[in-house]
Amino acid sequence: MAQLLAVSYEGQKVYRFTISTKEELDALTNLKDHPEFKFDFWSSPKIGNVDVKLSDSALQFVSPLVNNYTVLIPDVEKLIQEQAIPYTPPSSKLQTNHSTSDLTIQNPFFYTYQNSSAIFQFMDGLGAKKDFIGYTFKQQQIFGYYFGTGNKTAIVQGGLHAREWISPAFVVYLAAFLAGSSQAAKSLLAEYTVLLVPLVNIDGYDYTRRADGDRLWRKNMQINNDSTVGIDLNRNYNFKWDTPGGASLDSMNETYRGPYPNAAPETKALSEYLAKVQNKVSYIDIHSYGQAFLYPWGYTCTVSSPDEPDLRSSSFAGAQAIASLYGTFYTVGSSCSNLYQTSGASDDYAYGVLGVKYAMTIELRDEGQYGFLLPPEQIIPVGTETVAALLAVWEYISKDSNLTSKYIPQTPTSTIPPTHTVTQSSGQPLPVQLFWLLFIFAI
Ligand code: 0X9
Ligand code: ZN
């Protein structure tokens, strides 16, 4: 059924601008904070392809400045409506043999994007050990699920960004694979304990699905001090948090870093929880879109991480596994050089503070044809190819005789809010306020 969202994207398109000069880049970047027209950047401004959602009336500001552009998504609102319709497989596809204990292929659960309660209900039914991680801003419970008995811990996390629906869908698909009876799952789980956190930003995800919500919301749902809403959870981690150019300082912005590291309860809860998890060998944060394997560093392009050779090779193993199934092409590289500079992101934190050697972000399908609005019929193919990728990454890790990162983990700096946020609303020092209080009582 068509869903009517309060935020309508009628008349909006996604354009791909191909930026080839610094002048073009500056011109496009300057439009980011246009007072009248909202330029919604689906990918960050850089030399190369930049995807931006805007209305036709706003295009007049860009077209004279940027030579090359194409329309990626001609009707955003139409696609939003279509994406809510569950996939119905052709009957021919239902005839193939498969084990009844296989919970992935042909499971109608994966014909559509599920809501958060359905996601947790499905996860609860898989018989994994469940652990409470912490609360979201709206007091919803974030859970982790443990599969396997191996002595290497592999973490896979989904749903940090609200609008990237394929991310939690994939982590649940992976859970179904791990709970199934395949030999591949069994041998993996003899060597690894896999910790899955299927949906971190539950509040944001719910908001993208609500009738009065916004399908393209990215941040959490925290009310900021200035009454704006949301912190970008992937800019709020406590590692190189205040690197210039790595995140936005503007609370209205999609990539708002928050007032201080771990200001978002979701980031804080995950950071504290993961610090206590033992024998962590890999941390994989699942996002969309762009088809890329990314690894530290994100906060800088000038130094490469000391484990770059292994990070690159393990990522290549993953990318190759994906390509060999359906030919889906993934790029491989450090977050900063392959994508753009970002500070306070989860993978840098896992690598830089938690000391996890194989810290990565995977940007799932697609390359921009549907972007965040990936049709539900792609959930199972994405699930199949990405499970193959992770198996290849973990196989690479199994052969690594030294799982200790070459980087010496940094102790996080304090996350105590800056004093001005706890100053009384009048802005006057406490003794002055006490004076007035006593004065009032006295009269
Ligand atoms: O910008 C992000 O947070 C991620 N891309 S997304 O389009 N899903 O928002 C990429 C994060 C990659 N990791 C680092 N840059 N450290
Ligand atoms: Zn993301």
pLDDT in tens, 15-33: 999 999 999 999 888 887 7
294 versus 244: which is more confidently predicted? 294
Q: Where does the chain hold its CATH 3.40.630.10 domain(s)?
A: 91-210+260-398
Say what the pLDDT of residue 415 is. Answer: 67
Closest protein CA for atom 16 of ligand 1: 298
| Alpha helices (runs of H) in 218-291, residue ranges in sequence order | 265-276
What global pTM score does this model have?
0.91
Report CA(40)–ligand 1 centroid distance (Å): 16
Confidence tier at 261 by pLDDT (50, 70, 90): very high
Closest protein CA for atom 4 of ligand 1: 287
- Report the pLDDT averaged over residues 159-168: 98
Say what the pLDDT of residue 425 is. Answer: 39
- Report the pLDDT averaged over residues 414-432: 51
Neighbours of 31 (CB within 10 A): 18
Closest protein CA for atom 15 of ligand 1: 298
Structure tokens at 429: 């020092």
Ligand 1 contacts (CB < 6 A) are 161, 164, 234, 287, 294, 298, 335, 339, 342, 345, 347-348, 361, 363
Q: What distance lies between CA 175 and its chain's CA centroid?
A: 18
Q: Which residues contact 426 (CB under 8 A, 6 or more apart)?
A: 433
Whether 389 and 319 have beta carbons less than 8 Å apart is answered as yes
Confidence tier at 150 by pLDDT (50, 70, 90): very high
Residue 73, strand partner residues: 14
Neighbours of 302 (CB within 10 A): 8
Identify which ligand lies nearest to the alpha carbon of 297.
1
Atom of ligand 1 nearest to the CA of 348: 16
pLDDT, one tens digit per residue, over 211-234 is 899 999 999 999 999 999 999 999
Highest CATH level, class, for 91-210+260-398: alpha beta
Atom of ligand 1 nearest to the CA of 297: 16
Amino acid code (one letter) for 397: I
Atom of ligand 1 nearest to the CA of 235: 3
Report CA(182)–ligand 1 centroid distance (Å): 32
Compute the distance between CA of residue 117 and CA of residue 176 in angstroms, rounded to an integer.
Answer: 16
Closest protein CA for atom 3 of ligand 1: 234
Q: Tell me which H or E stretch contains 66.
A: none
Say what the pLDDT of residue 73 is. Answer: 96
The one catalytic residue in 24, 266, 363, 367 is 363
3-state secondary structure of 265: helix
Identify which ligand lies nearest to the alpha carbon of 289.
1
- Report the pLDDT averaged over residues 198-222: 97
By C-alpha distance, which of 290, 298, 294, 380 is closest to 108?
A: 380
Say what the pLDDT of residue 52 is. Answer: 94
Compute the distance between CA of residue 155 and CA of residue 164 in angstroms, rounded to an integer.
Answer: 19
Task: Mark whether 363 is an active-site residue.
Answer: yes
Q: Where does the chain hold its CATH 3.30.70.340 domain(s)?
A: 12-83
Atom of ligand 1 nearest to the CA of 290: 7
Confidence tier at 2 by pLDDT (50, 70, 90): very low
- Report the pLDDT averaged over residues 378-384: 97
Highest CATH level, class, for 12-83: alpha beta
Q: For residue 186, is pLDDT > 90?
A: yes
Confidence tier at 138 by pLDDT (50, 70, 90): very high
